[in-house]
């Protein structure tokens, strides 16, 4: 059984002016998501600025999220690293904190071969008992790509590696993956503009940035598809494209934090090296959000 089906939010991490995590705001964001139909919370991912969290903060944010969610939806914790040892440590701590599953990004910067990828994920998976979703995002990892054959081999050979969040943008590669998988890979879209195409290939849902500001709508894209209303799902997907484009006109999560601010959520500060959104791009985002009916 899949960890979740539908729309999981790649939730932002709010920070105070002094740089500390703002847990009060974080709790409010979690409650907003659950109240609006989000199917899972993905904490400490790219959108959550995990790369600028200390190990202690990383673990604390996961533990807080698990406690606040209190079993109402699955919590998937991002615990990947370019260091296998670090990924093992964070994964074990997330499991102790009560996370339902893990999201492991492809190692970045130092890169590795497909053999290295296999061994990296195998070592981490063998260190925990909870299920794991691989995270394939070459744009964030220096172009390193988990090939379809490697994903399938991992899911077939290692019981708790169950799927992949695909943010390659390469529909041809995803098609090959699902043809090879023969049902052994739970596929999640990592791109909000490709939810319906990946659902059509057998996907279970999306791990979404858009869900931070439009949780109900993102949930409904998936729900309508699974209910057999493909036309309705497609209409929602196409209606969201201008907004999605605006959400990625600067590096994530700069625009989505600005979008939440425009909706009245105080998301606090971005951690450097991320900076506030350029005025022209902020205007583009505001225009798209108005057209979508969010502000």
Residue percentage of the chain with pLDDT more than 90? 97
At residue 127, does pLDDT exceed 90? Answer: yes
Alpha helices in 46-194 (DSSP H): 55-69, 84-97, 114-126, 148-157, 171-181
140-to-38, 107, 144 alpha-carbon distances in Å: 25, 10, 9
pLDDT digits (tens, 9 = 90+) for 231-267: 999 999 999 999 999 999 999 999 999 999 999 998 9
Residue 139 lies in a domain: yes
At residue 27, does pLDDT exceed 90? Answer: yes
Instruction: Give the domain CATH number at 94.
Output: 3.20.20.70
Per-residue model confidence (pLDDT) at position 196: 98
Average pLDDT over residues 127-136: 98
At residue 87, does pLDDT exceed 90? Answer: yes
* Widest CA span in the chain: 50
- pLDDT averaged over the chain? 97
Average pLDDT over residues 69-94: 98
Residue 110 lies in a domain: yes
Per-residue model confidence (pLDDT) at position 1: 82
Residue percentage of the chain with pLDDT more than 70? 100
Of these residues, 153, 165, 224, 257, which one is catalytic? 165
- 118 carries an active-site annotation: no
Residue 132 lies in a domain: yes
Confidence of residue 36 (pLDDT cuts 50, 70, 90): very high
> What does 26-83 look like in DSSP terms, one character per residue?
HHHHHHHHHHTT--EEEESSTTTTGGGS-HHHHHHHHHHHHHHHTTSS-EEEE---SS
- 290 carries an active-site annotation: no
pLDDT digits (tens, 9 = 90+) for 178-206: 999 999 999 999 999 999 999 999 999 99
Average pLDDT over residues 7-29: 97
Confidence of residue 18 (pLDDT cuts 50, 70, 90): very high
Average pLDDT over residues 106-110: 93
* Residue 132: strand, helix, or coil: strand
First to last CA, the chain: 38
Per-residue model confidence (pLDDT) at position 35: 98
Average pLDDT over residues 13-38: 97
Average pLDDT over residues 125-149: 96
Residue 64 lies in a domain: yes
CB atoms within 10 A of CB 272: 8
Of these residues, 32, 89, 135, 292, which one is catalytic? 135
pLDDT digits (tens, 9 = 90+) for 141-175: 889 999 999 999 999 999 999 999 999 999 999 99
Average pLDDT over residues 12-36: 97
pLDDT digits (tens, 9 = 90+) for 42-57: 999 999 999 999 999 9
Full residue range of the structural domain in which residue 184 is found? 6-226
Name the domain count of the chain.
1
| Residue scoring higher pLDDT (209 or 110) | 209
Q: What is the pTM of this model?
A: 0.97
Residue 44 lies in a domain: yes
Residue 72 lies in a domain: yes
Confidence of residue 59 (pLDDT cuts 50, 70, 90): very high
Per-residue model confidence (pLDDT) at position 146: 98
Average pLDDT over residues 259-278: 95
């Amino acid at each position: 059984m899949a960890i979740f089906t539908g729309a999981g939010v790649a939730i932002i991490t709010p920070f105070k002016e002094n740089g500390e995590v703002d847990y009060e705001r974080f709790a409010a964001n979690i409650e907003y998501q659950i109240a609006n139909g989000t199917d899972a919370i993905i904490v400490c991912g790219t959108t959550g600025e995990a790369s600028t969290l200390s190990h202690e903060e990383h673990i604390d944010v996961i533990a807080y999220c698990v406690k606040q969610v209190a079993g109402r939806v699955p919590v998937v914790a991002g615990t990947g690293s370019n260091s296998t040892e670090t990924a093992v440590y964070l994964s074990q701590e997330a499991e102790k904190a009560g996370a339902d599953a893990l999201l492991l990004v492809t190692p970045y910067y130092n890169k590795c071969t497909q053999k290295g990828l296999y061994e990296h994920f195998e070592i981490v998976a063998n260190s925990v008992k909870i299920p794991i979703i691989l995270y394939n995002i070459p744009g964030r990892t220096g172009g390193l790509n988990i090939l379809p054959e490697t994903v399938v081999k991992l899911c077939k050979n290692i019981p708790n590696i169950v799927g992949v969040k695909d943010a390659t943008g390469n529909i041809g590669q995803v098609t090959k993956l699902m043809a090879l998988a023969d049902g052994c890979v739970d596929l999640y879209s990592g791109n909000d503009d490709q939810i319906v195409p990946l659902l059509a290939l057998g996907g279970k849902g999306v791990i979404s940035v858009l869900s931070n500001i439009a949780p109900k709508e993102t949930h409904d894209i998936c729900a309508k598809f699974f209910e057999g209303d493909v036309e309705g799902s497609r209409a929602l997907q196409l209606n969201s494209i201008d907004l999605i484009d605006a959400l990625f006109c600067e590096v994530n999560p700069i625009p989505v934090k600005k979008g939440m601010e425009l909706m009245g959520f105080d998301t606090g500060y971005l951690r450097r090296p991320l900076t506030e959104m350029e005025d022209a791009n902020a205007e583009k985002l505001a225009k798209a959000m108005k057209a979508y009916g969010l502000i």
